[in-house]
């Protein structure tokens, strides 16, 4: 089977809903041992995990605050004891991202964006690296956003943090390439998931009209891109950004 991930252990943070959930399900269907992670809403997490278990691949669910160093350390110790060390890392956890003029953001909000999109990938990556380097194989897939390429406004805090995440990923890809570890990015467009349910319909209609492909993106579109980048078939692909947005941006 193409893109098989048999016996590979994948950690996807923020994976009980939205894009993370779709990736978790797709990876399990291709043989990966999936570690599902959440921080809030245990009821939803347990319901999603039941769906994941039904696929039949070994899996586990963990509650962890992925911007806290001690919580991340405990997370990796728990995974290694239950399944083994992580081979594939997808930092996907995200907070709310309100669009506001710069005067209405405070620095605490900017810091929260940096924590989720730079600090968390840093903490998770450094926890993965000893094992990945020993085995000369690893996959790190950071979820960025088209907002960085488009300069979306008024959205400075989120866009700046995604720019930092992009720079982090590009430099890291060169640093880790000699070890057989690839670092790539997926840059989704606006893909309506649960947290977009209350977004104004007029805003949704305007965005849909701007997509060259003429349809909304689906979480499964992102999952398919992640599956490829995690596979052996993508061993010679690193430092790249895959835009999953129907042609709105080019990288």
Looking at the annotation, which residues are catalytic?
Answer: 158
Contact status, residue 75 vs residue 59, Cβ threshold 8 Å: no
The CA distance from 198 to 194, in Å, is 9
Query: Structure tokens of 67?
Result: 């911007």
Contact status, residue 87 vs residue 139, Cβ threshold 8 Å: yes
Partners of residue 38 on adjacent β-strands: 63
SS3 sequence of 60-76: EEEECCCCCHHHHHHHH
Helix (H, G, I), strand (E, B) or coil at 236: coil
The CA distance from 171 to 178, in Å, is 13
Q: Classify 14 in phi/psi space as left (phi over 0), alpha (psi -120 to 50) or beta.
A: left
Query: Structure tokens of 131?
Result: 């094992």
CA dihedral 89, 95, 99, 101 (to 10 degrees): -100
Closest to 210 measured CA to CA, from 248, 236, 175: 248
The CA distance from 130 to 141, in Å, is 17
């Amino acid at each position: 089977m193409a893109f098989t991930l048999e016996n590979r252990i994948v950690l996807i943070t923020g994976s009980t809903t939205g894009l993370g959930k779709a990736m978790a399900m797709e990876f399990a269907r291709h043989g990966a041992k999936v570690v599902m992670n959440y921080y809030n809403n245990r009821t939803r997490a347990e319901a999603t995990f039941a769906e994941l278990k039904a696929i039949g691949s070994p899996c586990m669910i963990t509650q962890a605050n992925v911007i806290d160093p001690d919580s991340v350390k405990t997370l990796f110790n728990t995974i290694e004891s239950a399944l083994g060390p992580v081979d594939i890392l997808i930092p996907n956890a995200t907070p709310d991202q309100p669009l506001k003029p710069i005067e209405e953001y405070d620095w605490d909000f900017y810091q929260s964006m940096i924590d989720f999109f730079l600090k968390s990938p840093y903490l998770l990556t450094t926890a993965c690296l000893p094992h990945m380097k020993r085995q000369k194989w690893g996959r790190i897939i950071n979820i960025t956003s088209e907002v960085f390429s488009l300069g979306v406004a008024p959205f400075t805090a989120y866009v700046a943090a995604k720019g930092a995440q992009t720079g982090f990923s590009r430099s890291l890809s060169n640093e880790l390439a000699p070890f057989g570890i690839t670092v790539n990015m997926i840059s989704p467009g606006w893909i309506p998931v649960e947290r977009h349910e209350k977004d104004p319909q007029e805003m949704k209609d305007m965005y849909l009209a701007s997509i060259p492909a003429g349809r909304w993106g689906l979480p499964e579109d992102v999952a398919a891109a992640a599956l490829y980048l995690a596979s052996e078939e993508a061993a010679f692909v690193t430092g790249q950004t895959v835009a999953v947005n129907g042609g709105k941006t080019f990288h």
